[in-house]
Structure 1
Amino acid sequence: MTTLVAARRDLRLPERSLCAFACATVALAPVEGYLLAVHGQLAKLAPALLAVTWVAVRVRDRVPPRPHPVHGVLALFAVVVLVSAAVHAGEPYALEYTQRWLPFLVVTAILVDVAAREVPIRSLLVSAVAGAAVAGGGALYSLIAEGESRASGPLDDPNDLAHVLVAALPLVVPIVAARRGPVSVLALLAGGVLVAGAAATFSRGGGLALTAAVALLVLRKVLPLRVLAAACGVLAVLALGGAVVAEQELAKALQEKSFIASTNVDTRELRWQAAARILTEHPLLGVGPGGFRQEYAGASHNAEVDEQTPVAHDMYLEVAAELGLPGLLLFAGLIGTAVVAGERALRRGADRHQVVAVQASLLAVVVASTFLSEQYYLPLWLMIAVACAADIRTGSGSARPARDQ
C-alpha cells in the first residue's frame, strides 16, 4: 500500500515540476538583471527547464497542447520573424534579435498550455507580483542606499523598470480579493512596494500606464472607488513624509528628470520619424530583427551623433520597421486575440477579478509601450498567455471551478 501511494506521488512529480518551473519563469523575469550579474546564462535556466519538462510531460501523456487561435498567430508571427531574419541574415543584429524573439514566442505557447491545465492562473499572478515586488525593492534600494537620482534596480533603464512594476500592480487586486489571510496581506505590502518603486523611477510613461490600468479596474467595477480613495490617501501621506525627509534629494531628482524629459521628447520624435521612414521604404519584411539599430543613423541622417544604435522607444514602430507590415499586423493580432479571449472568458464565468486584472495589466503594457520598446520583456507575453488560458479553461468541457483558476 505504501509503495502504491509512493508511486502515485512519483507520477505527479512532473506536473509539480511543471508548475514550479512555470512560476519560477514568471517570478524571475523582473529580476533578470540580477541573474545576469551572477552568470550570463542564469536567466535562461527556468524557461529552459520549463520547456524541457513540458515536452517530457506531453510526450509521456501523448496529449497535444489544447488548441487556441493564439497558437496560429504565434506560429505565423514566428514565420515572419524567421523569414525577415533570413532575408537580412548578413545584418549584425539579425541573429541576436531573432534569438530574443523566438524564446518569447515559445514560452508564451507553453504558458498558454500549462495555465490551461496544470498551473493555476492564480499561481502565475502571485509569482508575477512577487518577482516585481523584489524588483521594486531593488529600485528603492538603488535610490536610497546607492544614491541614484532615478531608481533602476535590476534594470538599466528606469523607464523599463517602471513598465515592469506598473504591469504587475493590477495583479495585486485578485490576490487581495481572494481574501486568503497572509497571502492577501503580503500582496498589499507588495503593492505598496510596486507603487513606491514605480514612483522612484520618475517615469511619465509608467504614470500614464498606471492611470490607464486603474481607470479600467474602476470602470469594470473590480476596484471600488472607496478602496482607491483610501489607497491614494495612504500613498499621499507616505509621499509627503518622504518629501519632507529627503527634500534635497527629491529636488535634485526632479531637476534632473526635467532636463532628461525635454531631451527625451526631441530624441523620441527623431526615432519615431526614422522608424516610420524605414517602414515606408521596407514595408514587406522590414529591415530584419534588430535592424532598426543598424539603420537608424542612415534613416535619421545622423540626427544623434552620440547615439548611433538606439531603440525606437515605441514598440509598435520598432516592430513595424524591423518586421514590416505583416509583422506589425500579426503582433497587433496577438494583443487583439488576448483581448477577445479575456472577454470570452468573462462571459463564460471566469474569475472576474483575475481576468479584468490581466486586462488592466495588458492595457498598462500597451500604453507604456507607446513610449518604450517593451517587446522583449515578459509582462506582455504573460498577459497574452494568461488571457488565452482563461479562455481555454472556461471553454466547453474544459472549465474548472473558479477557485482553481
Structure 2
Amino acid sequence: MTDTATVSWPRSGPWPGARRRWLSRGRRAHGGHPTDSLLLHAAVVLVVVTAPIEGYLIDLHPQLGKLPAIVLMATWAGVRIRQRRVSPAPVYLLLAGLAGIVLLSTATHLIAPFSIEYAIRWLPFLVVSALLIDIVATEVSVRVVFVAALAGASIAAVGALISVFVSGDLRAAGPLEDPNDLAYVLTAALPLATACLPAGRTVPLFWRLLPAASAVLLVAGAAVTLSRGGLLAVCAAALWLVARRNLSLRAAGGLCGAVVAVAALVWLFAGSLVTAALGQKTYIAESNIDQRLIRWRAAIEMAGTHPVLGVGPGGFRSEYLPTSHVAEIEELTPVTHNMYLEVAAELGIIGFALFIALIVGAFVYSERALRLGADRRGVVATQAALLAVVVSSVTLSEEYYLPLWSMIAVAYALHLRASRAPDTRMTRGGR
C-alpha cells in the first residue's frame, strides 16, 4: 500500500517532528539517495521564500534575484540524473507549448526593443513551474511550499510596514517597487495560512498561533499598500475559503477583529500619516481608472491587429504610443495593468489560449485531486490563493511574479500525487 504521506501532510503532531517524518518517508517512498530529498527541499524553499523579497536581493546585486531559480534548476537536474528518472505529465505539454509561442513571438519581433528582455523573463517562470510540479508531486510536501510562501510574504509584509511607519512612504513598497505588486504578493500568500495550522490537541499553542499571526501581518502589510486590487483579492479568497469550509465564520470573525484592533492602533499612533496617504490615493484614483481604460483599449487593438503571435514579449511597451496615438506622452513605456490583455496582445490568440488553459486546468485538476483523496485544506487553500491571483491580475500585469506559477504548479502536483496513490481513496475515503 502506498504511504499516505506522499499524498498529503500529517493531520497531527507538532511541526518539527512532523517535518522529520515527512522527509524520511519521502526518501523511503521514492528510493532516492539520502541527500536528494534534502537538496530538493532546500532548493524549493529558497525559490519560494525569496520570491516576495526579490527586490531586496536585487538591491544587493542586480543579478542576485536570478540565483534561486538557477539553484533549483541545477539541483533538480543533478538529482534526476542520479535517479535516472523523469515523470512526464500532460501539463508539461501546455508549458512547452506556451514556451514555444514565447520563442516564436520573440523571433518574429526580434528587433523590438524589449523582445529578448521579456522573453528571458517569461521562460524561467515556465521552467520553474514545470520543476515545481515534478518535485512537489514526488518528494516535497505541499505544506513545505505553503510555509515557505508564508515566510517570504511575511518578511515582505514587515518591509511594507517599515517603509510606511519608519521611512514615511505614503504607500508601502517594501521589497517591491510598485505597491500594487506588493499587495498582489501578500494577498496571494494569505489563504495558505488556513492550510498551515497543525491539527491535533497535542500541538503546542505557539504552532497554532503562528499561521494566524502571519495572516494578520499579511493583511496589515497589504492594507498599507492602499491597493484596491489587493482588497478585492482578499475578499474573493476569503469568500472561497468560507464557502469551501477551510475557514470557519468564527475564525474569519476573529481575524477581522484582530485586523480592526491593529488598524485602531495604527490610527492612534500614526493618524496623520494615514490621512495623508488616503488623501493622495483618492486624488489619483480617478486618473488611474481613465489611464487603465486607455491602455486596455490599446492592448485589445494590438491583439486584434496581431492575432497569431501578438506584438512580441514586451511589445506592449514599445507599441503603446503609436497604438494609443500618444495618449500618455509622459509615460513612454507603460504596462497594461491587466495580465490577460497583456498576454493576448503580446503572445497572440494561441499563446493566450494556452495561458488561460494552464490557469483553468489548475482549478480543474486540483478539484479532481480532492475527489481522489487529497487533503481538503491543501486543495482549497491552493484554489483560494490562485483565485486571489486571478482577481488581482484584472488590474495588474502579474505574469512575471512567482505566486501565479507556484500555485499553478501546486495545483497540478496535488492531482499527480493523488492519482499516483490510488490506495489513499480506501485508507482516507473519497471526497
> Matched residues in 2 for 1:369 and 1:129: separation?
20
Number of the residue aligned with 2:182 = 161
Query: Following the alignment from structure 1 to structure 2, what is the Cα–Cα distance between the partners of residues 399 and 314?
Result: 43
Offset, 1:185 = 2.4
Partner of 1:17: 39
Q: Pick the aligned partner of 2:304 from 274, 277, 280.
A: 280
SS at match of 1:198: helix
1:54 paired residue among 76, 81, 84: 76
Give the conservation status (yes or no) of the 8 Å contact 2:216–2:258.
Answer: no
Inter-partner Cα distance in structure 2 for 1:230 and 1:377: 31
Are 1:30 and 2:52 an aligned pair?
yes
Among 100, 104, 119, the residue aligned to 1:98: 119
Residue 45 in structure 1 maps to residue 67 in structure 2? yes
Deviations 1:31-53 (A, max 9, x none): 00000000111111121111111
Q: Which amino acid aligns with 2:43?
A: F
Q: Work out the CA distance in 2 between the residues paired with 1:344 and 1:243.
A: 46
Q: Give yes or no for the alignment of 1:369 onto 2:393.
A: yes
Cα distance, 1:190 vs. partner?
1.3
**TM-score, length-normalised on structure 1?**
0.94
2:393 maps to amino acid: S
1:376-387 correspondence to structure 2 within 5 Å: 376-387=400-411
Distance in 2 between residues matched to 1:163 and 1:83, nearest whole Å:
30
Deviation string 1:203-230 (CA, Å, 9 cap, x unpaired) is 0000001100000001111100111112
Amino acid at match of 2:276: K
Paired with 1:136 and 1:328, the residues of 2 have a C-alpha distance of 32
Task: Supply the RMSD in Å over aligned alpha carbons.
Answer: 1.7
Residue 290 of structure 2 is matched in structure 1 by 266
Moved over 3 A (4+): 8-11, 177-184, 396-402
The TM-score normalised by the length of structure 2 is: 0.89
Please report how far the alpha carbon of residue 14 of structure 1 lies from its aligned counterpart in structure 2 after TM superposition: 2.9
In structure 2, C-alpha distance between the alignment counterparts of 1:131 and 1:399, rounded to whole Å: 35
Of 111, 118, 141, which residue of structure 1 is paired with 2:139? 118
Tell me the SS of whatever aligns to 2:34: helix
Instruction: Tell me which residue corresponds to 2:275.
Output: 251
Q: Deviations over 1:116-164 (max 9, x none)?
A: 1111110000000000000000000000000000011000000000000
Cα deviation for residue 398 of structure 1 reads 6.7
* Structure 1 residue 357, shift from structure 2 partner: 0.5
Question: Could you list the runs of 5+ residues in structure 1 that have no partner in the other structure?
Answer: 1-7
Residue 315 of structure 1 and its aligned partner are, at CA, apart by 0.1
**Structure 1 residues 228, 80: closer, same or farther in 2, change over 3 A?**
same
- The residue number in structure 2 matching 1:216 is 240
Deviation at 1:399, TM superposition (A): 7.0
Structure 2 gap segments, 5+ residues each: 1-27
One-letter amino acid matched to 1:11: H
Tell me, in whole angstroms, the C-alpha distance in 2 between the residues paired with 1:186 and 1:177.
10
Offset, 1:73: 0.5
Secondary structure of the equivalent of 2:73? helix
Please tell me whether residue 337 in structure 1 is matched to residue 361 in structure 2: yes
Most deviating of 240-249 and 355-364: 240-249
**Which 10-residue stretch deviates more, 242-251 or 105-114?**
242-251
* Residue 370 (structure 2) pairs with residue 346 (structure 1): yes
Q: How far is the alpha carbon of 1:10 from its aligned partner? A: 10
SS of residue matched to 2:300: helix
Contact preservation (8 Å) 2:216, 2:255: no
1:328 to 352, 375, 392: 352
Letter matched to residue 260 of structure 1? I
The 8 Å contact of residues 97 and 290 in structure 1, kept in 2 or not, is answered as yes
For 2:226, the aligned partner's letter is F
Q: Work out whether residues 111 and 386 of structure 1, in 8 Å CA contact, stay in contact via their aligned partners in 2.
A: yes
Aligned to 1:138: 159
What is the match of residue 7 of structure 2?
Answer: none
Aligned to 1:90, what secondary structure does the other structure show? coil
1:5-40, Cα deviation, whole Å (9 max, x unpaired): xxx999312321111011110010000000000011
Distance of 1:203 and 1:223 partners within structure 2: 24
Q: Which amino acid aligns with 1:186?
A: L
Q: Aligned partners of 1:398 and 1:127: how far apart in 2?
A: 28
* C-alpha distance in 2 between matches for 1:216 and 1:397: 27
Tell me by how many angstroms 1:68 deviates: 2.3
Are the equivalent residues in 1 in contact too, given 2:374–2:414 (CA < 8 A)?
A: yes
> What amino acid is aligned across from residue 130 of structure 2 in structure 1?
A
Identity of aligned residues (%): 49
Task: Give distance in 2, aligned partners of 1:81 and 1:262.
Answer: 35
Per-residue CA deviations over 1:348-385 (Å, capped at 9, x if unaligned) read 11111111001000000000000000000000000000
Does residue 102 of structure 2 align to residue 84 of structure 1?
no
Q: Is the 1:392–1:398 contact (alpha carbons within 8 Å) kept by the matching residues of 2?
A: no
Aligned equivalents of 1:106, 1:212: Cα separation in 2: 29
- In the comparison of the two structures, how many residue pairs are matched? 394
SS at match of 2:335: coil
- Aligned partner of 2:13 in structure 1 is none
